[in-house]
Amino acid sequence: MSEPLDIVILGGGTAGWMAATALTSLIPPTRCRVRLIESEEIGIVGVGEATFPEIRNFNDAIGIDEAEMMRATKAAFKLGIQFVDWGFKGSRYIHPFGVHGPVGMDHIFHHRWLRARGLGSKRDIQDYSFAAQAARDCRFDLPETRGTDIESAYTYAYHFDAGLYAAYLRDLAERRGVVRTEGKVLNVVQDPETGDIRSLVLESGETISGDLFIDCSGFRSLLLGKTLGVGWEDWSKWLPCDRAFAVPSERDELSPYTRSTAMEAGWRWRIPLQHRTGNGYVFSTSFINEDEAAASLMRGLEAKALADPRMLKFQAGRRLVNWEKNCVAVGLAGGFLEPLESTSIYLIQAAIMQLVPLLPGKIVDPRLRDEFNRLIDLQYERIRDFLILHYKLNRRDDAEIWRYAAAMEVPDSLTRKIELFRHSAIIERYRDGLFPPTSWLSVFIGQGLIPESYSPLADTIPGESLIFHLDAFHADLLDRVGEMRRHDRLINLYCGAELSGAPTATEMRP
């Protein structure tokens, strides 16, 4: 048996500890040894307190108990994202984690809805989404995982304290064998011939060598960007926001959704946790100065601030490749997309879960590297297009940023999608990457793009019959939502931070 692969992770934080935990949990010590270097002096960005449902696959894969994790991170459930004032001032819609209409009908349901609308039905498409309806009513129960029942029509994610999540994972990772070293990197030693990274020299004088280096150093991209010189692809012409202020406030309504409100120069988030509410303002300095943005954020708080606002600087884009030589970037070291759809932690997870099966040997096999880079590119580009859609598809005339966004040229891949939906309500599917058709649908419709026509296949049943079925489905949906528990009560019961030995998921099912 050959020697195990020595993996060195540079940087703690969410990316570093997710990578460390996954590698050490999924791959046996005979195959890899994991070390992590972090410095307590360097703060972590702690991106994204809101997550995407895929996080549950990650947690399941590495063997995390949900209730325990939620207690430790003061987490709450999340059924979707509410967008306020996006398409036009006064608009409001939820991008739900689940289908619109009955399970298994998503290829035709919105066409039928469009037809019903033409017949005079006033209901919004979200009224047919179980997740959206439950979110609006602040209700939550764990979904059934089998069958095509209405209860399997949705999934969920979490709001949690990303710093606590990293700490929770750190504890797990260290217990599973990850060696943590406190310290700052002074120097990176490269192989003079191949350029591969050989070791990191710390301020303490200690030298840590390895076979594979995982760059979780955040925006600094110390290894991939700075040492290996991998270039940056700038996407700020499409996603112009370049700063964010973040501030916590006292806990108020524990709504099971993230709220994103379009503002004068960007958008603000509201993320309810068990012990506080996370708030932030993502903005573009091309359209507002920092002081005004901070003031705007503080003015809009719905509860008392618990700290002063903290600022982050960034640019939308990604490194030209995320794996170069023997260095793989995970998280912000590889790219940044604003947290409009809560994808930051998802991108960390995607990089890790694609690295694990493609983990190289002591010498990097370029075939594995290229495949990893191809998959990561797909992830970034699909999220990018979906985010741009939110900006492009607005009819606000009250602020410069919205006029700019509505007029800007967008990638061809996106233009095609918008135009096809406008013409005939068709949504293209793809295999890899986030956002199923139901997600695209919710943003298209939610931001006011009502197609000019719908599929003739929706015309195959008589109008009265269509309306009857929609009414019946909606009534059933309301009944079922009414039977769900209030989200805040469920949280207390299931994973209240002060509780211990809470019931298991199975016991929680009504």
Partner 1 sequence: MTRRIQQVVIVGADAPAWMAAAAFQRSVSAAGTRIRVIELPTLLHPADVYSAFPELAGFHHRIGLDEDLLFSRCKAVPVAGRRFSNWSGAGAPFIHGYDRSPPPAAGLGFTQLWIKGRQKGLRTDFENFSLASVAAKAGRVPSGTGDAELHAAFGYNLDARAYSALLRQFAKSGGVESKAATIAHVETEGDQIKAVILDDGERVEADLFVDASGPRGALIGRMPGADFESWRDWLPCDRMLVASAKGLKPLPAFSQISAFRHGWIGLFPLQDRTAVVAAYDGSETSDQALLADLPALANMPIGGDAVVSDLNQGIRRRAWVGNCVAIGESAFSLEPLDGAQLHIVHYCISQLMTLFPVKTGLFPEADLYDRILRRLGGNLRDFQLAHYKLNRRFDMPFWDGRRDASVPETLQRKLDVFTARGRVPLYDDETFQELDWESLFIGHGLMPQSYDPRVDAIPEQEHIAQVQARMNDIVGLVEGMAPVDDFIAGVNPRQAAEAKAVG
| Active site amino acids | 78
- How far apart CA 427 and CA 239 sit, in angstroms, is 23
In the bound state with partner 1, the residue whose beta carbon lies nearer, of 6 and 290, is: 6
In the bound state with partner 1, the residue whose beta carbon lies nearer, of 142 and 353, is: 353
In the bound state with partner 1, the residue whose beta carbon lies nearer, of 28 and 501, is: 28
365 binds partner 1 (CB under 8 A): yes
358 binds partner 1 (CB under 8 A): yes
3 binds partner 1 (CB under 8 A): no
> Phi and psi dihedrals of 473, rounded to 5?
-65, -45
In the bound state with partner 1, the residue whose beta carbon lies nearer, of 24 and 344, is: 24
In the bound state with partner 1, the residue whose beta carbon lies nearer, of 122 and 429, is: 429
Instruction: Select from 406, 420, 467, 502 the one that contacts partner 1 (CB under 8 A).
Output: 420
In the bound state with partner 1, the residue whose beta carbon lies nearer, of 313 and 374, is: 374
Segment lying near partner 1 (by CB under 8 A), choices 77-85, 285-293, 326-334, 362-370: 362-370
Q: CA 34: distance to chain centroid?
A: 26
Instruction: Select from 43, 177, 436, 456 the one that contacts partner 1 (CB under 8 A).
Output: 456
In the bound state with partner 1, the residue whose beta carbon lies nearer, of 282 and 410, is: 410
Instruction: Select from 175, 237, 416, 509 the one that contacts partner 1 (CB under 8 A).
Output: 416
- How far apart CA 165 and CA 184 sit, in angstroms, is 23
Q: Is the dihedral of CA 181, 182, 188, 189 positive or negative?
A: negative
Decide: 147 and 494 in contact? Cβ < 8 Å: no
Instruction: Select from 6, 68, 137, 371 the one that contacts partner 1 (CB under 8 A).
Output: 371
For 29, half-sphere exposure in the C-beta direction (CA atoms, 13 angstrom radius) is: 6
476 binds partner 1 (CB under 8 A): no
Decide: 350 and 376 in contact? Cβ < 8 Å: yes
Burial of residue 500, with CB atoms counted within 10 A of its CB: 0-12 exposed, 13-18 middle, 19 or more buried: exposed
Instruction: Select from 402, 454, 484, 487 the one that contacts partner 1 (CB under 8 A).
Output: 454
Please state, in angstroms and as integers, the Cα–Cα distance from residue 266 to each residue in 198, 277, 286, 336, following that order.
42, 20, 10, 16
Instruction: Select from 42, 363, 457, 478 the one that contacts partner 1 (CB under 8 A).
Output: 457
- Smallest gap from residue 27 Cβ to partner 1 (A): 5
Q: Within 155-194, which residues bind partner 1 (CB under 8 A)?
A: none
426 binds partner 1 (CB under 8 A): yes
What is 11-76 written as a DSSP string? --HHHHHHHHHHHHHHS-TTTEEEEEEE-TTSPP----SB--TTHHHHHHHTT--HHHHHHHHT-E
> Phi and psi dihedrals of 197, rounded to 5?
-80, 130
What is 415-458 written as a DSSP string? HHHHHHHHHH------SSSS--HHHHHHHHHHTT---S---GGG
Q: Within 59-88, which residues bind partner 1 (CB under 8 A)?
A: 61
Instruction: Select from 313, 403, 423, 509 the one that contacts partner 1 (CB under 8 A).
Output: 423
428 binds partner 1 (CB under 8 A): yes
- Smallest gap from residue 430 Cβ to partner 1 (A): 5
Q: How would you classify the pairing of strands 32-38 and 179-182?
A: parallel
Instruction: Select from 207, 453, 472, 509 the one that contacts partner 1 (CB under 8 A).
Output: 453
Q: CA 85: distance to chain centroid?
A: 21
In the bound state with partner 1, the residue whose beta carbon lies nearer, of 398 and 432, is: 432
* The one-letter amino acid at 356: V
Instruction: Select from 182, 302, 430, 478 the one that contacts partner 1 (CB under 8 A).
Output: 430
Please state, in angstroms and as integers, the Cα–Cα distance from residue 418 to each residue in 113, 392, 440, following that order.
19, 10, 10
105 binds partner 1 (CB under 8 A): no
Instruction: Select from 381, 424, 474, 492 the one that contacts partner 1 (CB under 8 A).
Output: 424
Decide: 78 and 46 in contact? Cβ < 8 Å: no
Cα angle at 54 between 297 and 57, to 5 degrees? 135
43 binds partner 1 (CB under 8 A): no
Please state, in angstroms and as integers, the Cα–Cα distance from residue 173 to each residue in 15, 21, 176, 337, following that order.
13, 5, 5, 27
Joined together, the tokens standing for residue 176 give 């599973």
Kindly write out the interface string for residues 5-34 of this chain, putting x where it contacts partner 1 by CB under 8 A and - elsewhere: ---------------------xxx-xxx--
- Smallest gap from residue 382 Cβ to partner 1 (A): 12
Helix ranges, 107-222 (H): 109-118, 130-136, 162-175
Joined together, the tokens standing for residue 68 give 């325990």
Joined together, the tokens standing for residue 170 give 């750190």
- Smallest gap from residue 26 Cβ to partner 1 (A): 5
In the bound state with partner 1, the residue whose beta carbon lies nearer, of 449 and 502, is: 449
Size of the site for partner 1 (CB under 8 A): 43
- Smallest gap from residue 353 Cβ to partner 1 (A): 8
Segment lying near partner 1 (by CB under 8 A), choices 177-185, 228-236, 267-275, 451-459: 451-459
- Smallest gap from residue 429 Cβ to partner 1 (A): 8
Using CB under 8 A as the criterion, which residues of the chain lie in contact with partner 1 when the complex forms?
26-28, 30-32, 57, 61, 107, 353, 356-359, 361, 365, 367-368, 370-371, 374-375, 416, 419-420, 423-426, 428-431, 452-461
